[in-house]
Structure 1
Amino acid sequence: MTDPNLFGPIEYLVVEFPDGKIDPEGFEQVLALVDSRTIRILDLEFVVKYADGHATVFDADELNIDSFDVTAFAGASSHLLDTGDLATIAGDISVGSIAAVLVYEELALLPAIESWTRQGGRIIAEGHLDLDEFAEALTSTAPQQENQE
């Protein structure tokens, strides 16, 4: 039985769609991950940056995009973005772009987490590794190859 007070690792992803051109294939993949119970969407919001530089947050069902059926994501917005998040995202995307902000729970580890906590274990930290920092750590810890002549 799933404990409603336990969560798997929670991650976020921000994807910029230049000129507001959203390719629906990635969102179809997200739905497949939800259907297979690999992830659970906690929040999905869209940030639109206008020509004057200001940005606005929209729920999926508020967008009207020809090539993208947003009805599957209606109600997925939890409004987790605050003004600081919006400012950061707006600063990172180009004018005329739309950014999708997806906050999701990874469900694959949830059975292990439930087992550990049921046996008295306690999750004391969770985190996200930046890919660049991870690559640098791998490089700095890789065994040095000796020159063989």
Structure 2
Amino acid sequence: MTTTPETEAHGPVDFVLLEFPRAGLTGRAGEELIRLVEQGVIRLFDLLIVMKNEDGAVEVLELTDPGGPAEAFAYFDGAQSGLLGEEEIAEATGALMPGTLAALIVFENAWAAPFVAAVRDGGGELVASTRIPAPDVMAALEALDAKRPVA
């Protein structure tokens, strides 16, 4: 089976909501997101930076505001696919704590597209998928390390 434009394989698409305290922003998250996109690990569909004020009011920030809190993401100005609608934005911002800044990001795991194509070529299909939270993985790995004999 050959992949054609009609059956083009895509990697899984994820939505993440990253909340940051306003104090102490380093810009490092923006740098790493740029690296992931430039290396082809992910394909960015949407990026929206919002601020939730102490009174609960939400403000969408301009990515190109020099010296602004969203400045680290200026590289992605215009990243809007339409996958993030008003309903998704309202639900996401409702989860934020007052006095925080957040990045709403929709991205494709582009690294997985060749694997998805290979699965499809073999007649396979995804039956189930879930995300294991990072703290659970870290705890399991720490428990495994604790069981290993000391050399």
Instruction: Give the TM-score taking structure 1 as reference length.
Output: 0.71
Q: Deviations for 1:66-118, whole angstroms, at most 9, x for unmatched residues?
A: 162544111113341443553443433332x2101122111222111111112
Equivalent runs, 1:1-149 vs 2, <5 Å: 4=5, 5-19=8-22, 22-58=25-61, 60-61=63-64, 64-66=65-67, 68=71, 70-79=73-82, 80-83=84-87, 85-95=89-99, 97-134=100-137, 138=140
4+ long deviations beyond 4 Å: 1-4, 132-136
8 A contact 2:30–2:72 mirrored in 1: no
Q: Is the 8 A contact 2:13 2:107 kept in 1?
A: yes
Q: 1:129 to 1:82 in 2, by over 3 A?
A: farther
In structure 2, list runs of 5 or more residues that go unmatched.
none
Q: Indicate the percent of aligned positions where both proteins have the same amino acid.
A: 23
5+ residue gaps, structure 1, are none
Aligned pair count? 139
C-alpha distance in 2 between matches for 1:89 and 1:20 = 19
Q: Distance in 1 between matches of 2:25 and 2:4?
A: 36
Q: Is the 8 A contact 2:17 2:92 kept in 1?
A: no
Distance in 1 of aligned mates of 2:86 and 2:24: 25
Structure 2 residue matching 1:29: 3-state secondary structure: helix
- Contact 2:55 2:98 survives alignment (8 Å): no
What CA distance in whole angstroms lies between the structure 1 residues aligned with 2:13 and 2:40? 14
Q: CA, structure 1 residues 84+120, in 2 after alignment: closer, same or farther (shift >3 Å)?
A: closer
* Residue identity matched to 1:75: G
Query: Contact conserved, 1:60 with 1:73, CA < 8 A, in 2?
Result: yes
**Structure 2 residue matching 1:44: 3-state secondary structure:** strand
